[in-house]
Amino acid sequence: MPTILRHNDLDVPYPPVGIAHITKDITDLMRKDADVTEYVVKMGAQPNSNPHLGTIVTLMSGFSIAKHIKETFHTNVRIEFLVDDNAPAETVEKEGLVYTRSLRFSVNDMGMGKDRLFLASYKRLFDYLTEFTGLAVSIRRDTALQMTPQVRTILMRIMEESYIFSEIFSPSDKFLHIKVPCPKCGFAEKTGRTLKWTRINHETLKLETMCFEHGVFTSQLSPTAGDFIDTNTPIADVLQTALFIEEDKEFDTKTILVDGADWSGNWATDILYRGLSKLGYAYEEIPQHFYTPLVLDWSGAKFSKSIYLKTGFYDYLPAELLDFDLFVKTFGYEKLDLLWVDVDSWVTEPKKFFRNYSVDYFCKLLGI
């Protein structure tokens, strides 16, 4: 039967969905791995702004899941925050080609790298959540992950078997979007169409591409040496998850991935799981993946960080919902406590976790 709970002077419905029918607690989905040495809960974000409500909810969910795992299985749990410093920060178009410069290579007027500009806000949120859970956070950067021998070896295989992987990672244009940042300015041709590669020896590829300002340049890719090579999100997602599988095997850990529900559905099945399968990984090796409830706007669309950064579409909402630091400055931690208590209750009641919530719900919950 559907559940309706009295919550903050509102009747809140919790209609049952498929997975909520057969689970009383989300850790019921994890008991098959309860004998591992350590769980590692991983979640990430693009640090191109201070955390907004959707990001805060996802990160709170990750902390809550980690806390609940520790309490349920009485085992070691670590949290890793994956910083997507490869996210584009600047874009230019030259002669019909689009070039992007990532947060890692971009700086503000004060000379600070844009990949570090907003991390202080994330760390303040983490400090707050650590107080409730006793769980600290370590930070790993995407650029560092992509320089590991495991990732570079798999990337070379993907490039050499592009006839297999291009239709997975680029189902419309059937082209691998692999790019090499210019060593002088950091811009990279977005689609990778100008990239050419040849094998130098059994473990090294020579790459040649072009910069709109500095012309043609070459680089190398090998498991243990060479230049940084960037990819689009589908390839990066599979590369990272493959790395986590290998690390779990090496260290007897179990990775738990926590993402917003916008990464579930066809992305998970047709991109992530299919890509890993083509690389030879069995389904049983793939990390447990929890997709947190989406925060939706009035139209039912995802409460989007990219939309509010580029437009004034959310100007009708309290500005505090768009900026963690402003939220705390205006309301203090009292309303953040309300939000944490609500999110923390989701993981023990699947009917609350496996659903989405509107911005209106949170406004009513917080009384703003």
Q: Nearest CA to 184 among 217, 146, 221? A: 217
One-character DSSP codes across 93-118 = EETTEEEEEEGGG-B-TTS-BHHHHT
The dihedral region occupied by 4, where left means phi > 0, alpha psi between -120 and 50, and beta the remainder, is beta
Give phi and psi for 255, each to the nearest 5: -80, 135
Q: How far apart are CA 159 and CA 143, in angstroms?
A: 19
Residue type present at position 290 = F
Q: In angstroms, how far is CA 90 from the centroid of its own chain?
A: 20
Q: In this predicted structure, what is the pLDDT of residue 191?
A: 87
Q: In this predicted structure, what is the pLDDT of residue 339?
A: 95
Q: How far apart are CA 338 and CA 336, in angstroms?
A: 5
Q: In this predicted structure, what is the pLDDT of residue 130?
A: 96
Q: How far apart are CA 159 and CA 176, in angstroms?
A: 8
Q: How far apart are CA 113 and CA 366, in angstroms?
A: 34
3-state secondary structure (DSSP) of residue 13: strand
Q: Nearest CA to 35 among 73, 78, 77? A: 73
Q: How far apart are CA 339 and CA 55, in angstroms?
A: 13
One-character DSSP codes across 180-204 = ---TTT-EEETT-TT-EEEEEETTE
Between the alpha carbon of residue 29 and those of residues 66, 100, 349, the distances in Å are 14, 40, 13
Q: How far apart are CA 178 and CA 194, in angstroms?
A: 10
Q: In this predicted structure, what is the pLDDT of residue 1?
A: 47
3-state secondary structure (DSSP) of residue 15: coil
- The pLDDT tens digits along the chain (368 residues) read 456 555 556 678 788 788 888 888 888 888 766 678 899 999 999 888 899 999 999 999 999 999 999 999 999 999 999 998 888 888 999 988 999 998 887 766 666 676 778 899 999 999 999 999 999 999 999 889 989 999 999 999 999 999 999 999 999 988 899 999 999 999 999 888 889 999 998 889 999 999 999 999 999 999 998 888 999 999 999 999 999 999 999 999 999 999 999 999 999 999 999 999 999 999 999 999 999 999 998 888 888 777 766 777 788 888 899 999 999 999 999 999 999 999 999 998 899 999 999 999 999 999 98
* Residue with token string 């300015």: 185
Structure tokens at 132: 């409730």
pTM, two decimals, is: 0.91
**Residue 155 contacts residue 165 (beta carbons within 8 Å):** no
Enter the DSSP assignment of 267: I
Give phi and psi for 91, each to the nearest 5: -140, 135
